[in-house]
């Protein structure tokens, strides 16, 4: 099945920010790898509070990057080499924080800095947050800024949220994100 996917052999940067939906990011990493993609994962410090990097290493078979100051080999500048080596980037979950950083060029950790260097690549973001946060005018402005810059957005979906309420804010399902990535790669 791996050779049937449009992402077979595609180098994907998986950016993981710190939200409850991080568990879906592990599932997505597994699905991407099963489809034949080469997945490099970059996690924020807050993402590491929800899921350990070893979870991503286990499903991708590749090292996980969590700091601008670690895993630098042969004097490479980590965020630039990660950006240069990927063909497409996907951010899951895309929290209000990382959306704001991406929209405003804020580079204060490995993920935001790498994504800033990826601006010429195809990027997909899958927002996940509480409905009150999602509908905040500042977040909506940031999302529009990203769309205008060519970033594709998938979701969020309506459903039960981590806080126990129901509303729009659930991250799209990993299979739907995989399908969108296949469509983006085929173009």
By annotation, the residues acting in catalysis are 163
Q: Assign residue 5 a region: left if phi > 0, alpha if psi is -120 to 50, beta otherwise?
A: beta
- Spatial distance between the Cα atoms of 26 and 42, rounded to a whole number of angstroms: 12
Q: Residue for token digits 């804020």?
A: 106
Contact yes or no for 156/168 (Cβ under 8 A): yes
- Spatial distance between the Cα atoms of 124 and 177, rounded to a whole number of angstroms: 9
Contact yes or no for 96/139 (Cβ under 8 A): yes
């Amino acid at each position: 099945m791996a050779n049937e996917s449009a992402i077979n052999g595609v180098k994907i940067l998986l950016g993981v920010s710190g939200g409850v939906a991080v568990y879906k990011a592990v599932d997505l990493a597994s699905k991407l790898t099963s489809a034949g993609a080469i997945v490099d994962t970059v996690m924020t410090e807050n993402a590491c509070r929800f899921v350990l990097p070893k979870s991503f290493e286990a499903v991708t078979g590749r090292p996980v990057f969590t700091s601008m100051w670690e895993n630098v080999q042969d004097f490479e500048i980590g965020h630039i080499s990660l950006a240069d080596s990927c063909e497409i980037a996907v951010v899951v979950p895309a929290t209000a924080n990382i959306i704001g950083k991406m929209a405003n060029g804020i580079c204060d950790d490995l993920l935001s800095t790498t994504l800033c260097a990826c601006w010429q690549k195809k990027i997909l973001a899958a927002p996940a947050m509480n409905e009150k946060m999602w509908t905040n005018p500042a977040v909506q402005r940031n999302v529009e800024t990203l769309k205008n810059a060519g970033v594709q957005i998938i979701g969020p979906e309506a459903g039960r949220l981590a806080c126990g309420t129901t509303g729009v804010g659930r991250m799209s399902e990993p299979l739907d994100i995989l399908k969108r990535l296949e469509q983006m790669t085929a173009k």
